[in-house]
Structure 1
Amino acid sequence: MPSWAWVSGLTVGATAAVLVLAAQANHGTHPTASATRPHATASASPHASTTHAPKKKASAAAVPASSGSGRRVVYSLAQKRVWLVDGDDVASRTFTVWPGTVSPDPGSYTVSVRRDSTTGSDGVKIEHIVYFAAKSGLNIAFSNAVDGSEPSPASGTQTGGIRMHTADGAALWTFGSTGTKVTVVK
């Protein structure tokens, strides 16, 4: 048998094994983040004032009700915001993003491919690339610029990259393994 046949067979077998392991990992336990609340402290100031309860955070931090349930990444087109939602439907992290010029349609997707780094269609070196959709011949993926820069407005170029700050890109990379559900809402 020719060597290319062996290599092709081994590649197909390895890819199948990775997909099976990713599917099994998605059904296992996943780490969750917990938040701690600061404790109130007393003041010895002679001009003590009454303390007011902290104001509630803006509704932008709330996971959209129409985003389904279970462990998932939620992306709001209107809010330009992403939530990393654990299995208990609690957001462990939320952050704003810079969308590309081509946006995915609202719906349910799964992380299909991940790449450590490459050069984006805008010529910027990017990392933590998490692909989940395609539209108008473009792959749609979350990523961050290696140098931490914010994207410049596209000059007539169609881009499908949804960029974020470096720390947010690292968090999404850790959370969004292959097979992770991605829900896009308006």
Structure 2
Amino acid sequence: MEIQLHDKRFVPFVSAEELEWAIARMAQQIANDMGSEIPVFIGVLNGSFMVVSDFMKHYKKNCEVSFIKMASYEGMETTHEVKQLIGLNQDLSGRTVIVIEDIVDTGNTIVELHQLFADKNLKALKYATLFLKPEAYKKDIKIDYIGIEIENKFIVGFGLDYDGLGRNLPEVYQLKG
């Protein structure tokens, strides 16, 4: 079923079941890698709130979770400038931090986050994303956990928006045409 958000039409792309499966698989991979360690998961708002929520339901070991708010999009275009709107205020020294993103495309937010955490004296910094656009991602920073690789198309739903609309959709849609 097609949907309309503002002036654009979108068609179904990834079902709620596929999203659930990808998130559960990522949670299991991370749990296996962490062993008995207690990681700090950092969700990148606004887009990751649904991913982090579902991820936490599948991560069966002890962990901590926090959020940071970054912004890099206006409408359907990346601004190529990442702004930190809400920051972290906890001591992460000696901890393994795993950043959870909804989507990684240009990687500008990843670079900004990498710089942000560079002086935090972390044990390790890892990145997890529900969606990766390998065609668009040309940065040298490794994405450690990937839910689903997709083509370089504009998508909405499950936390991802088009000018504020669509975040609440339980599945993901791609721009029609």
Larger Rg: 1
Smaller-chain TM-score bracket: under 0.3
Greater strand content: 2
Larger RCO (CA within 8 A; separation ≥ 6): 2
Q: With structure 1 as the length reference, what TM-score do the two structures score?
A: 0.26
Q: With structure 2 as the length reference, what TM-score do the two structures score?
A: 0.27
